[in-house]
Amino acid sequence: MKRYIKLSLMFGALSIMGLQSCSDSFLELKPRGTDLEENYYRNRQEAYNGLVAIYDVVGFQSSGYTTKILSTSAASDDHFAGGGGSSDLPHIQAWSDYSLEPAVGPQEDLWRRGYMGIMRANVLLQKLSDVPMSEQEKARFEAEAKFLRAYFYFDLIRYFRNIPLITSPLEGDAIYEVIQAAPEDVYTAMENDLLEAMPGLPLTINATSEAGRASQGTARALLGKVYLQQEKFTQAAAQFSEVNGEPGQTSQYGYSLLNNFSELFNVDNKFNSESIFEISFTNTSVGDWGCIDCTEGNILNIMIGPRGYAPGSGAPDYVAGWGFLPLTTELVGVLQGDPRYSSTVIDMHQLAGNGSSYTPGYMDSGYFLEKYAGRESNRWTGAGSFELNFPQNIYDIRLADTYLLEAEALVRGGGNATRAAALLNAVRERVGLGPVAATFENIKRERRLELAGEGHRWFDLVRWGDAATALGDRGFVAGKHEVLPIPLLELDNTLLEQNKEYGGTK
């Protein structure tokens, strides 16, 4: 924490860095500069800017290209890290081949992302009571900050297990004296934040003027995940049921499955009826190589495309990418014959037979992720570097995800089997597949097929206890690799203890 909790304070308590304003949606952002915290939160607009600053961390992309979806996907059995060689992004390679060490891996960036968001939320929550603005809107800002704080804690506890629980800004030497909390206390804090947030959040969000903001449905979906992670199956199913409504119909929050699976990944189909929580990107931030962290474009789009791609006649207009996250042949085999195959998989073997070409990269399988591959039709031609300015959004939570999570909670908790089957089969029916029994194994398989490449697989494997079986040939060790090491720099001159799995005592 000497480095990163302190850094988070610099972003949250000491200054409001890079505050931004909305254009077409809440999170399409433009820089506004730097304002000292002591002179800030004087009015509603500045409180709103502080709220935007918390949301901005959700889409965190580090100068080392670390993102949540890139890191966790590389760690799963659906992808290899890939890239140009074994030394290309070594922190990502280390999680992909399970050579993780306290000083090697993506943990520093993932820790920084989480505590940066938490510290910004803590500052806003402390300042809000004195801001002259309507009490109704103040309650909404407070609710959103609590939702976001729980969101960041949920990622952190799944990555690290033993983490500090910080619910107010830290001052002075306190940043070096924080200790780790019992995991059950962190879960309780998340539950409380989300339950307290719900009354202050709107039932629905205006997709034109407020896209990207949290609603009651967003908070319930996250609370369901928090409960499910703790195997509180009845509570999880109850929350997901409120979010999902009747399978295949529009829920009370306005959520419904899209008719066409492929439309989920249409770049222009942002904040659609299936989206519960979505990370917003734009091509208007003019991001360049001088500050990769500053761009608001989606860097995953350039990272996962085939290296050196040259299309043949009539071939898709993929941008020549960097070859990260090639799909494993095991995943491709599972997807063969599934209607979602063409919307999930780029098959360079087939394209090469039709005149296209590419340059195989590290651990190349010839298969890449269609869902988030950059395209020439979305290539930015204005100021900034085109590689850093792709506008495709990423789903963090979508309705098919919560359908399947509710089905899982019901089956594992001995709940309503008929409803579990209806939820599972609504996801299948959307792509033209017939019904199957609502068994745990069928739900697991459906999550892999439906959500491939969307960053859920590693979390699923660990939650199910299946990671050692699925990833043993990659170096995963049961009882160790379910968590990441605490970043080495966080242990220097602090009271933090390393996880026992990596030689510590915690």
- Residue 132, pLDDT score: 96
- Residue 14, pLDDT score: 34
- Residue 223, pLDDT score: 99
- Residue 10, pLDDT score: 34
pLDDT tens-place values along the chain, 506 residues long: 333 343 333 333 333 433 333 333 333 333 334 455 667 899 999 999 999 999 999 999 999 999 999 999 999 999 999 999 999 999 999 999 999 999 999 999 999 999 999 999 999 999 999 999 999 999 999 999 999 999 999 999 999 999 999 999 988 888 889 999 999 999 999 999 999 999 999 999 988 889 999 999 999 999 999 999 999 999 999 999 999 999 999 999 999 999 999 999 999 999 999 999 999 999 988 889 988 888 999 999 999 999 999 999 999 999 999 999 999 999 999 999 999 999 999 999 999 999 999 999 999 999 999 999 999 999 998 889 999 999 999 999 999 999 999 999 999 999 999 999 999 999 999 999 999 999 999 999 999 999 999 999 999 999 999 999 999 999 999 999 999 999 998 998 899 999 999 999 99
Q: How far apart are CA 505 and CA 501, in angstroms?
A: 9
- Residue 3, pLDDT score: 37
Q: Are 364 and 325 in contact (CB under 8 A)?
A: no
| Half-sphere exposure (Cβ direction) of 121: Cα atoms closer than 13 Å | 26
Comparing C-alpha atoms, which of 183, 81, 109, 82 is closest to residue 482? 183
Q: How far apart are CA 144 and CA 150, in angstroms?
A: 10
Domain ranges of the chain: 295-371
Comparing C-alpha atoms, which of 245, 279, 228 is closest to residue 411? 228
Range list of β-strands (E), 266-386: 275-279, 345-347, 367-369
| Half-sphere exposure (Cβ direction) of 471: Cα atoms closer than 13 Å | 32
Distances (CA, A) of 102 to 89, 118, 153, 504: 16, 22, 20, 10
β-bridge pairing 34-36 and 275-279: unpaired
- Residue 37, pLDDT score: 63
The answer, as to whether pTM is greater than 0.75, is yes
Q: How far apart are CA 87 and CA 127, in angstroms?
A: 45
β-bridge pairing 367-369 and 345-347: antiparallel
